[in-house]
Amino acid sequence: MNFEEKLSKALEPVLNSRVKESMAYSLLAGGKRLRPMFLYEVLKGYGCDPEIGDYFACAIEMIHTYSLIHDDLPAMDNDDLRRGKPTNHKQFDEATAILAGDGLLTYAFEYASKTDMDAETVLKGIRFLANKAGSNGMIYGQDLDTLELVSDPDLEAINRVHNYKTGCLFSLPLMIGALLAKQPAEVIQKWESIGEKIGLAFQVQDDILDVEKTAYELGKTNSDVRNQKNTSVSLLGIENAKSYMNQLYEESIQAIQEFEGFDATGLINSLKGVEERNL
């Protein structure tokens, strides 16, 4: 069963409703599935069966999708296009989109709790989910995003926003993978730092693509210019932003290679594929 089938199966227990239809519309709309991929690659690197991460991988993708639904709302970025399709609130309505996001976020925790491992490990994983998705994680980044990027033309401020808004959900699958592989706390903490760096590189890359590609090519609208937000490109220029992005990816790869007892081949190949993406 491929990951798309696993996601579809994950939604089967949800009661049929317009909200479920809205949840499925965004969750099953495709996308890069980078976070689940990273979780699986960490498990494989430690010699574990990647399927032990299925429930958490689906849960992380649910949380990521909920964040996109809410981020696209008129009260946030007010976007019309996501993954080449009308955004959720355009396809349905704002109330349904809000409920679909709420549904995905809440259901993610229920689904992750089904992981067939010892209770202590599952509980720690759920704590990671809550921390990285919540008011000390991604939500904090979203809050900073609404306050700082319009008026504060400072790279440090932009990085702070993206470390939380984007980096947290890149750290999360790496941490969960290490946790399920029974790695000690200090190793999990190193994975957390690597995820933050990958998230920052990914966001700089997004800023670059927003300049170089059309909305049609990207499958999403670029609201940063419309909302007068400063980005790494607007502050550094396109060439310096590319150098910065490459530096962040290279530092991430070097850090991954330093883990003892970890076969980094699969994860590094996946990460290089992300670095070379043009969409």
The pLDDT averaged over each successive group of 10 residues in the chain (279 residues) is 96 98 97 97 98 98 98 94 95 98 98 98 98 97 78 79 95 98 98 98 93 79 63 91 96 97 98 89
Residue 230 is predicted with a pLDDT of 81
CB 252 within 8 A of CB 198: yes
Q: In the CATH scheme, what is the homologous superfamily, with its name and number, of domain 16-275?
A: Farnesyl Diphosphate Synthase (1.10.600.10)
- Return the pLDDT at 222: 66
Torsion of CA 87, 7, 210, 207, to 10 degrees: 120
Quickly list DSSP for the chain: --HHHHHHHHTTTSPPSHHHHHHHHHHTS----HHHHHHHHHHHHTT--GGGGHHHHHHHHHHHHHHHHHHTSTTTT--SEETTEE-HHHHS-HHHHHHHHHHHHHHHHHHHTT--S-HHHHHHHHHHHHHHHSTTTHHHHHHHHHHHTTT---HHHHHHHHHHHTHHHHHHHHHHHHHHTT--HHHHHHHHHHHHHHHHHHHHHHHHHHHHS-HHHHTS--HHHHTT---HHHHH-HHHHHHHHHHHHHHHHHHHHT-TT---HHHHHHHHHHHT---
Q: How far apart are CA 267 and CA 138, in angstroms?
A: 23
Mean pLDDT computed over every residue of the chain? 93
**Cα separation, 53 vs 39, whole angstroms:** 7
What are the beta bridge partners of residue 86?
A: 81
Give 116-132 pLDDT, tens digit per residue: 999 999 999 999 999 99
Q: Which residue has the tokens 């926003």?
A: 161
